[in-house]
Each structure stands twice: as C-alpha cells, then as structure tokens.
Structure 1
Amino acid sequence: MADTTKVVSEQDLIVAFAGTDFGGADHRKLIEIGVLKKAAGYCCGHTLTRIMIYMDLINEKGALKRRGRELLRAAYHELMLNGG
C-alpha cells in the first residue's frame, strides 16, 4: 500500500473534504486517482477538481503542481517499479 501521508496528511483531507458527500468513499484514494487522471489528461468531477486545486495539487487549468507530482510519485511508486 502506498504511503502518501507525507505529501497529504489526514488533517489535510479532513479540511479539504469538509462539507462534501462522496458516499463514504476513501478520500485519499479519490485524490490519488484524481491526480493520475489529471496527469493523463482526463477530467474529474467539479468538486474533486476544486478540492485538488485547494490542496495545491493542480492549477486552475488542471496541470499538476509540484505537490501533485509528489503525490503521484508516492501513490504509484510500487506500480512503476514492479508493475503491480
């Protein structure tokens, strides 16, 4: 399991997702997948996009910022090295 807590803390997630309703989804997984989608040129939902902008993971145009690249590396490090 990837450890992205050094990039995005649990407190960061609590603050960023406050007042949203993602039906019990794993917020950490949502941003990991969201950043991957943005890096690949895909779209995310409006709320998740705004959360990623707020968390300084992407810019207003959807491009990854430094923190977003760090999250992406941490989240998918094992996959990049071992293919799964």
Structure 2
Amino acid sequence: MNEPQDVRIKRLKMRSMRRGIKEMDLILSAYADRNLTAMEPSDLDNYDALLHENDQDLYQWVTGQVQPPETYSELISDIAQTFQK
C-alpha cells in the first residue's frame, strides 16, 4: 500500500480507538496519540499488524497475563509502559 504518512497515522489512530473492548480503545488510543507520529515506517508496519490481532489477546499481552508473540514483545512492552503511566 502506498499511503501518505499522515493518512496512515490518522487511519492507525482511528483503528486504535475503535476496538472491540473499551479497555483496548483507551490503552491503544493513548499510545497512538503519544507515539505514532515519531515512529519509523517499519515500526508503523508492526503496529498496523498488531491492530489485526484479537482484542482479548491484546489485552492479556498488555496486562502481562499472557506472554506476547516474539514479533510484538517490544511493542507490547512499550504499550504496557504507556498504559501504566
């Protein structure tokens, strides 16, 4: 997809705040607002892929109930730190 950076960030922010469960709406929209504009394209790719994951799984990963897949471990750790602030 050849999407302009600003359009991509708006799309990712929208997907971050319109999740399946309210807790993930709050966690991911706060993270997106604070971090997306400073992220490298490869990091945005990883975040975009993360948004395709199931909300129940995401919530368990972010809250530390379940170990996230290696692909997302650094990103989940960063999201969890933002969530705890």
TM-score (norm 1): 0.37
Higher helix share: 2
Higher relative contact order (CA 8 A, sep 6+): 1
